[in-house]
Amino acid sequence: MTENSLFDLSGRVALVTGGNGGIGLGMAKAFIEHGASAAIIGRSQAKLDAAETELSKIAGSDSVLAAQCDVTDRDSVSSVLETLVGRFGGLDILVNNAGVNRRADEPHLLSAEDWEYVIDVNLTSIHTVTSLAFPYMKERRRGKIINIGSMMSIFGTAYAPAYAASKGGVIQYTKSCAVAWAKDNVQVNAILPGWIVTEMTNQFKELFPDRHAMIVGRTPAGRWGQPADLGGTAVFLASSASDFVTGTSIPVDGGYSVW
C-alpha cells in the first residue's frame, strides 16, 4: 500500500453539477489530480468550454467531459448520465453542487417565483440528479455522493430565506440517502462551505462592506476561502478513506461555525 493509496481515485468516474466554475470546478480539479475522470455540467456553454480546457491541461482531454445541462430538467440530466456512462463506463462519484440565490430584505418580501426557483435548483434538483445517478452506483456496488450545503445549512438569514431553507434541506436529504443506501455500499455526505470567493460572492465586499468585515473578523482563519480549499475534503469523501463515513456534514469554513 502506497502512502497516498487511500486517496487514489484512479479508475473512478466523477460527475460534478455546476462544475464549470467556482467550488465545483475546484473539486473537479482535485478529482482529476488524484486520478479520476470527471464530467462537469452547467448551463453556460462559454464557462463549460473554458473549464474543459483548464481541466484537460491536468490529465488530458480523455479524462474530461463537459456538457450543457439544466439540473432541474430530468430529461436533460438523464441524457448527460447516458453520455457519461457511455464515455467512461460507469459512475462512482456524484457532487451535487449546482446552486443559486435570490435575496430580499426580509423573508415576506421574497417573491413566490424567486422562492420556487431557489428551491428547485438547490434542493429539488439534488433529488432529481441523485435519483437518476444512484442506479449506476448500485450496479457497481460502490458510490460516493457529496452534497454541497452552506453555512446557511446551520444559520438562518433574513435576506436569503429560500437559500437557507434549501441548504438546511440538503443536510436532511443527505442523512436520508445515507441511511437508505448504506446496504448498497454507497456513502452520502455533505460539505458545508463557509464564505468562499466565487462568482456568486465576488461582489459581496463592495455591496456589504460592514458584513464582509464581520465575516472576516469572526473567521479564525482570518480570510475568506478559495475554491481550492474544498478540494481536500472532496477527495477524502470521494475516496476509500471515507468508506466508513456516511450521513455527516463537514464544514469547510476556516472555523466560522465554531463560534
Buried b (16+ CB within 10 A) or exposed e, 180-216: ebeebebbbbbbbbbbbbbeeeeebeeeeeeebeebb
Please indicate whether residue 163 is annotated as part of the active site. yes
Taking the C-alpha atoms of residue 241 and residue 237, their distance in angstroms, rounded to an integer, is 7
From 136, 163, 173, 256, the catalytic residue: 163
Using CA of residue 91, residue 29, residue 83, residue 198, what is the dihedral sign? positive
Taking the C-alpha atoms of residue 41 and residue 121, their distance in angstroms, rounded to an integer, is 14
**DSSP-H helix ranges across 34-111:** 45-59, 74-88
Contact 121/104 with Cβ under 8 angstroms? no
Q: DSSP letter at 3? A: T
Taking the C-alpha atoms of residue 206 and residue 204, their distance in angstroms, rounded to an integer, is 5
User: Cα torsion for 202, 50, 228, 55, to the nearest 10°?
Assistant: 180
Other CB atoms closer than 10 Å to residue 167's CB: what's the count? 27
Q: Give the residue numbers marked as catalytic.
A: 163
